[in-house]
């Protein structure tokens, strides 16, 4: 088969860095949303609902539903990015079976694939990271883990406002740690990341609490 654009022959193995980077991105996405969204929900409910059992059930239901939605969103996003490479591979003159194999490989090595596209001025829509199924599971579990932090205090404390205090303390601590290490791994100011993340999460929960009080 001729090389239609005189591209260099591939050699060696792809690095594992894109795989790790993609997994970290999935964890950050799931954990960040998991800490904030259920926290805002239980904060709002605590303003109008006295039963900690009811808040706990609603919170757990949201965590479960949110995990599924986040996982499916990640899966479809990565699957679409993987399928988007097929027209480009066809333009390069590859055989159908080779196109299929290459599409599966690029789903696993998106960073190297993007570098290839940039080097030869080729355009397609890709995503860095791991396979769609693995990425979906990582995001879903990360969301679930984060979501349990603000919800579980309603299992151990009563009434609702006391449980809310426990939820605030646990979530605030996790937001500070999450923001610190997210910025540290990104090469940004860890302290600024911790404070910004905590302020954002607390601010959203405060708004939810106040809105619930208005409509009480």
Structure-token pair, residue 49: 């609902």
| Residue 215: per-residue pLDDT | 86
How many Å apart are CA 77 and CA 137, to the nearest integer?
A: 13
Number of DSSP helices (H) and strands (E) in the chain, helices first: 9, 0
pLDDT for residue 15: 44
CB of 91 closer than 8 Å to CB of 3: no
Residue ranges of domains in the chain: 18-214
pTM of the model: 0.70
What are 77-88's pLDDT values in tens digits?
766 655 555 555
Q: What tens digit of pLDDT does each residue of 156-195 get?
A: 998 999 999 999 999 999 999 999 988 888 888 999 999 9
């Amino acid at each position: 088969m001729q090389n239609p654009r005189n591209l260099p022959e591939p050699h060696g193995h792809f690095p594992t860095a894109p795989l790790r980077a993609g997994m970290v991105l999935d964890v950050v996405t799931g954990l960040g949303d998991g800490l904030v969204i259920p926290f805002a929900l239980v904060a709002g409910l605590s303003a109008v609902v006295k039963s900690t059992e009811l808040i706990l059930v609603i919170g757990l239901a949201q965590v479960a539903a949110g995990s599924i939605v986040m996982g499916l969103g990640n899966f479809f996003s990565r699957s679409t990015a993987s399928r988007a490479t097929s027209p480009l591979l066809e333009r390069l003159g590859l055989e159908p079976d080779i196109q299929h194999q290459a599409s599966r490989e690029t789903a696993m090595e998106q960073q190297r694939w993007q570098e290839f596209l940039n080097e030869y001025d080729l355009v397609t829509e890709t995503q860095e990271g791991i396979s769609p199924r693995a990425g979906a599971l990582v995001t879903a579990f990360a969301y679930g883990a984060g979501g349990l932090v603000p919800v579980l205090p309603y299992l151990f404390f009563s009434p609702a406002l006391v449980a809310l205090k426990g939820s605030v303390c646990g979530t605030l601590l996790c937001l500070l740690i999450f923001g610190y290490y997210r910025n540290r791994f990104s090469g940004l100011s860890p302290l600024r990341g911790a404070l910004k993340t905590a302020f954002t999460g607390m601010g959203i929960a405060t708004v939810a609490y106040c809105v619930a009080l208005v409509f009480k």
